[in-house]
Amino acid sequence: MKTIKSLLAATVLATFTMSAGINTALAATSLEQAISGEHRSAKNKSRDQYRHPQQTLEFFGLKPSSTVVEIAPGGGWYTEILAPALKGTGTLYGAHYPDTGKDDYYSKSRRKLEKKLASNEVFSEVKLTNFTPKVASELAPAGSADLVLTFRNLHNWGDAGVKQVFADAYKALKPGGVLGVVEHRMPASQSWEENKKSGYFPVKMTIDLAADAGFKLAASSEINANPKDSADHERGVWTLPPVLRLGEKDRAKYLAIGESDRMTLKFVKPAK
């Protein structure tokens, strides 16, 4: 009897391991197809070398069946990857600034994103919600999300805005869900108070604000690190590509540096 039980246990373990392996392979294939898709422009694909989308999303635990919230998707660079990777099997919420009817950056950004989403069938299942920094926002139905992701946005919101955003993310996530953060990394040697307009954000402040919201730091990664970036530039992070705010001045120098040095942090909402 003991032998039979051992065989059954071994069979169950092997089946579980095989299933997990298949799911991992499917997730990787889905991501690869999304990243290489023809709906992505050559210009956007050229930035993969700096943004490492497959490694980053795998690090955060993306699966084809995930319910994902992308906060402030901007021009939709990551949306181009997330939408097809989740289409038909998962759910993608784009929590973006609302269109208030004003002729300002926020409303224009929303309209531009809506136009992009309407331009290709690959985006047909994306659900847009309203998000406003420093104001409590429902990013997605409470307790519904497996992942809440934000890419290079913290510096735009400031410490008070990040505090509110992390609280909103916590509410949207399921217990055990993940908050994934990629952000331009301010060196510990720099003062936040003196460099708020540089486009970089402190790692410790990010971790502390996440902890204040109830998150636990699960892991960090150097996937998006760039040791060539000093984070000390004449026009802040926008001195570097892709913006190159100084135009032709020292252009070769900044192209050689590449895009910014970035922290990649994975936080978890504790299971109840």
How is 111-148 classified by DSSP, letter by letter? HHHHHHHTT-GGGTT-EEEE--TTS---SSSTT-EEEE
Per-residue pLDDT tens for 180-237?
999 999 999 999 999 999 999 999 999 999 999 999 999 999 999 999 999 999 999 9
Residue 129 · residue 158 · CB < 8 Å? no
21: number of CA atoms within 13 Å, CB side?
6
The helix/strand/coil state of 244 is coil
Residues in the chain: 272
Q: What's the token pair of residue 7?
A: 């065989």
> Residue 163 sits in which domain range?
2-268
Which residue in the block uniquely carries the two structure tokens 């934000």?
Answer: 150
User: Residue 130's beta-bridge partner residues?
Assistant: 96
Q: Which pLDDT score, from 0 to 100, does residue 30 have? A: 87
Whole-angstrom CA distances from 221 to 32, 46, 180, 224, 266 are: 20, 22, 11, 8, 8
pTM, to two decimals: 0.89
Dist. CA 50–CA 226, nearest whole Å: 9
Per-residue pLDDT tens for 66-120?
999 999 999 999 999 999 999 999 999 999 999 999 999 999 999 999 999 999 9
| CATH, residue 66 | 3.40.50.150
Q: What is the number of domains present in the chain? A: 1
